[in-house]
Amino acid sequence: MLGLARLGLLGFGGVGPQAYHAFVTRSAWLSIDDFAEGYSLAQALPGANVVNLCAIMGDRWFGPVGAVAAVCAITVPPLVIVLVAAAAIAHVTRAPRFVAAESAIVAASAGLLFATAYRVFSTIVRRRALGLVIAGAVALAVGLHAVSMPVATLVGVAAGFGIDVFTRARP
Amino acid sequence: MNDESVLLQLAVRIAGLSLVAVGGGNALIPALHDEAVSTLHWVSEARFVEAVGLSQAAPGPNMLLIPLIAWQTAGVAGATVALVAFLLPSSTIAILGSRFLARHERSPLVAAFKWALRPVTGGLMVSSAVVLIETAARTWPEPAKFVPGLVTLLAVGVAVASVRSKLNPLVWLAAAALIGVLV
């Protein structure tokens, strides 16, 4: 749980890439394959991705109590910090350099997301070409603001599921 | 409105958002803006933008934007209500969904479903990254012609560096912050 609290305190600009580092690279709590599976499920269901992932893993390892503890560990400490920060800056104007650093952090967290997407993709062992086409279509449709994320998720998963089921070699 | 009705409204509306929040905290920003600023007037446009910037730059999941907005609306009680209202429905669904899949692990349909999730996950991550790059370019102070190029270069550089090393991702975020201060 301390590991999760630490994760909550470190995840700037979204916690996905930090979660990968904490769960897979540093602690080996999960294999890269387990991470991709858990995160995929967490992202396809409604709610915050990493919070869902923590709920799923907490439940799997320690049951419902573990799930509640994991969700609290990942959300409460950073919430306290965010509220204290919000109260602190409510009445000051921020220096442009500080804002530029904030923007640069947001850009860098985009880079970390690219890297995590690459790792998730590297866990797809069969039908990679089809997977790449679906991933590209989803990225384009949502990235160009043509389709909302829930719609793209639904259509993308349904398409992949349908194609995989109906084109699988019959025994 | 009195305090209790504000808290009740926060709880009901945010629990509703929780059920449609596919794709994570950042995907939720437009829907939250509709509710919080346009429809229900919890906060002003300026406070909303400030909260978005803060939730991105501060540590923690981006969904903390929701309790942050609720805090601006109704203080610590609002933030607490918002946190529980957002987490309870979605976490319950996640746990039940995960248990269901674990129970039917051997079914070929479940295997196909799990296979279909991964490319979509990768694609959504890429599109979220694109949205973050746009945000970074927009929020950079004194926008100049080179800014979109600079933030894109930063993102691509961090992506390559992160794939090739096992260093803590914070190293790259700190390096980017330094570049932001110096440029």
Q: Is residue B119 part of a domain?
A: yes
Q: Which of B26, B83, B125 to mutate to test the interface with A (most CBs of A within 10 A)?
A: B125
Q: Which residue of A has its CA nearest to B26?
A: A14
In angstroms, the CA B111 to CA A100 distance is: 45
Q: Is residue B171 part of a domain?
A: no
Residues of B in contact with A157 (CB under 8 A): 113, 116-117, 120
The predicted model gives A116-136 an average pLDDT of 87
Extract the tokens encoding B150: 């600079």
What interface predicted TM-score (ipTM) does this complex get?
0.77
Number of domains in chain B: 1
**In sequence order, what are the beta bridge partners of A46?**
B22
Is the Cβ pair B140, A138 closer than 8 Å?
no
Q: Is residue B127 part of a domain?
A: yes
Does A170 lie at the interface with B, CB-CB under 8 angstroms? Answer: no
Give the pLDDT confidence of A141-169 residue by residue, as tens digits: 988 888 887 788 889 989 999 998 888 75
Give the pLDDT confidence of B65-104 residue by residue, as tens digits: 899 999 988 999 999 999 999 999 999 999 999 999 888 8
Extract the tokens encoding A89: 């800056």
Contacts of B39 (CB under 8 A, 6+ apart): none
Q: Is residue B122 part of a domain?
A: yes
Parent domain of B87: 3-139
Q: What is the pLDDT along chain B (183 residues), one digit of tens a residue?
A: 567 788 999 899 888 888 777 666 666 776 787 788 878 888 887 777 777 777 766 777 878 889 999 998 899 999 999 999 999 999 999 999 999 988 888 888 888 888 888 888 888 888 888 887 887 888 788 767 788 888 899 999 999 998 888 777 778 888 888 888 887
Q: Is residue B69 part of a domain?
A: yes
Does A121 lie at the interface with B, CB-CB under 8 angstroms? Answer: yes
Distance from the B137 Cα atom to the nearest Cα atom in chain A, whole angstroms: 7
Extract the tokens encoding B87: 């987490």
Q: Is residue B61 part of a domain?
A: yes
In angstroms, the CA B39 to CA A148 distance is: 20
Pick from B61, B63, B81: nearest CA to B71: B81
Q: Is residue B168 part of a domain?
A: no
Is the Cβ pair B58, A127 closer than 8 Å?
no
Q: Are A71 and B91 in contact (CB under 8 A)?
A: yes
Q: Is residue B91 part of a domain?
A: yes
In angstroms, the CA B154 to CA B125 distance is: 17
Q: Are B60 and B66 in contact (CB under 8 A)?
A: no
Considering only residues 124 to 153 of chain A, which have any Cβ-Cβ distance to chain B shorter than 8 Å?
124, 126-127, 130-132, 134-143, 148-150, 152-153
